[in-house]
Amino acid sequence: MDLGGKVAVVTGASRGIGRAVAVTLAGLGAHIIVNYAGHVEGAKETSMLVRDLGVRALIHQADVANQEQVDTMMQQALQEFGRIDILVNNAGITRDNLLPRMREQDWDAVLDINLKGAYHCTKAALRPMLKARWGRIINISSVVGLSGNAGQSNYAAAKAGLIGFTKALAKEFGTRNITVNAVAPGYISTDMTADFSEENKTQLLSGVPLGRLGTTEDVATAVAFLASEWAGYITGQVIVVDGGMSM
Amino acid sequence: MADVFERVKDIIVEQLGVEPEDVKPEASFVDDLGADSLDIVELVMALEETFDLQIPDEDAEKIHKVGEAVQYVLDHQ
């Protein structure tokens, strides 16, 4: 697989899955726009890892929930690189609670970043892809969007929403050689899952046939495949990367 | 007028992959030039970029023919 000369925007790339995606795509030769919302030290570290691989990295702070900030980021990317080939909508947060206890602001925050953020970024990145008649959009969903999870109704709704978004766009832009796919990670070892209790972890692992937590690289390699020419005839799909948990 | 028409024509030829001689003012994008809804959206985007315009949806929906696109550009430049 080779992404030499391609330009990829990865949202939420300051840590976790986003960082692994940025580094993996960079390892295949893509230049990376490292987007982050607040974790600047992490974003700098990601871009160092990217540059160590001999490609260019552009760090850009933008809240994906804000169209204006997203537009500015994409414009800067275009100025810097002249193209955007790959967009990975990864930025995401959780605000877990059982529904009776879930505040409207927690519902809104999760939907605004996880789902509306993808709308903002995709809308802004589409223009150069349409012109180029080539594009790869990869939305990071979650197994929670497929099978639900108690205490995560906002997150599950947003992640399921991303799957519908993926499929609609796959139909809209197929004729322009722009593929749109989703990756649905299962139980991946990141900051987001670090707070799980040992008991919770043990119980979750008992339902994973591969018997281990996923790594961010496990997810990133699936993303890289979808971003490559090798996946040129795959669109509108959801690749589940969960060690077999949700079969 | 002639200059705008030529530039609009170039955009249409490139965007829709049609022959230049088929791009006449009275030609309908959909019926005569085979454009689908995404082609129209892309055409509007290209017009916006080329002529530095912002074309609102309600205006874009009224542009059906080549001549209407040219007239829109002339009126809003």
pLDDT in tens, A39-85: 999 999 999 999 999 999 999 999 999 999 999 999 999 999 999 99
In a domain, A1, yes or no: no
Quote the domain boundaries for residue A139: 7-241
- CATH of residue A45: 3.40.50.720
In a domain, A231, yes or no: yes
The SS3 assignment for A53 reads: coil
In a domain, A183, yes or no: yes
pLDDT(A86) > 90? yes
Q: Which residue of B has its CA nearest to A131?
A: B42
Residue A218 to residues A78, A204, A239, B8: CA-CA distances in angstroms?
30, 18, 12, 48
Tell me: is residue A13 an annotated ligand-binding position: yes
Q: Do A127 and B38 touch (CB under 8 A)?
A: no
- The catalytic residue positions of B are 36
In total, chain B counts a number of residues equal to 77
For residue A242, what is the DSSP state?
S
Q: How many CB atoms lie within 10 A of CB A146?
A: 18
Residue A18 to residues A22, A91, A216, A240, A244: CA-CA distances in angstroms?
6, 7, 8, 17, 22
In a domain, A88, yes or no: yes
Tell me: is residue A158 an annotated ligand-binding position: yes
CA distance A65 to A91: 10
For residue B62, what is the DSSP state?
T
CA distance A9 to A123: 13
Q: How many CB atoms lie within 10 A of CB A156?
A: 20
Nearest alpha carbon to residue A115 among A63, A185, A170, A165: A165
CA distance B52 to B23: 22
pLDDT level of residue A1 (50, 70, 90 thresholds): confident
pTM of the model: 0.93
Residues of B in contact with A127 (CB under 8 A): 45
Consecutive H or E run containing A34: strand A31-36
| Residue B1: predicted pLDDT | 63
In a domain, A66, yes or no: yes
Alpha-helical (H) ranges within A4-102 are 16-27, 40-52, 67-81
| Residue A241: predicted pLDDT | 98
Q: Give A72's Cβ-side CA count (13 Å radius).
A: 12
Which one of B42, B47, B54 makes the best mutation probe of the A interface by having the most chain A beta carbons within 10 Å? B42
Those residues whose C-beta lies under 8 Å from the C-beta of residue B45, and which sit 6 or more positions away, are: A127, A130
Q: Do A176 and B38 touch (CB under 8 A)?
A: yes
Residues of chain B with pLDDT under 70: 1
| Contact (Cβ atoms closer than 8 angstroms) between residue A221 and residue A46 | no
Query: Minimal Cα–Cα distance from A131 to chain B, Å?
Result: 8
In a domain, A215, yes or no: yes
Q: Which of 23-62 (B) contact A at CB < 8 A? A: 36, 38, 42, 45
In a domain, A2, yes or no: no
Q: pLDDT of A195-214, one tens digit each?
A: 778 888 888 889 999 999 99
- The predicted model gives A222-226 an average pLDDT of 98
Q: How many CB pairs under 8 A join A and B?
A: 8
Structure tokens at A150: 């108690």
Consecutive H or E run containing A110: helix A104-110
Sole residue written with tokens 């939420």: A12
ipTM above 0.90, yes or no: no
What are the backbone angles phi and psi of residue A238, rounded to the nearest 5°?
Answer: -120, 115
Tell me: is residue A187 an annotated ligand-binding position: no
Residues of A in contact with B38 (CB under 8 A): 172-173, 175-176
Q: Which residue of B has its CA nearest to A172?
A: B38
Domain count, chain A: 1
In a domain, A246, yes or no: no
**Mean residue pLDDT across chain A:** 96
Which one of B43, B45, B48, B57 makes the best mutation probe of the A interface by having the most chain A beta carbons within 10 Å? B45
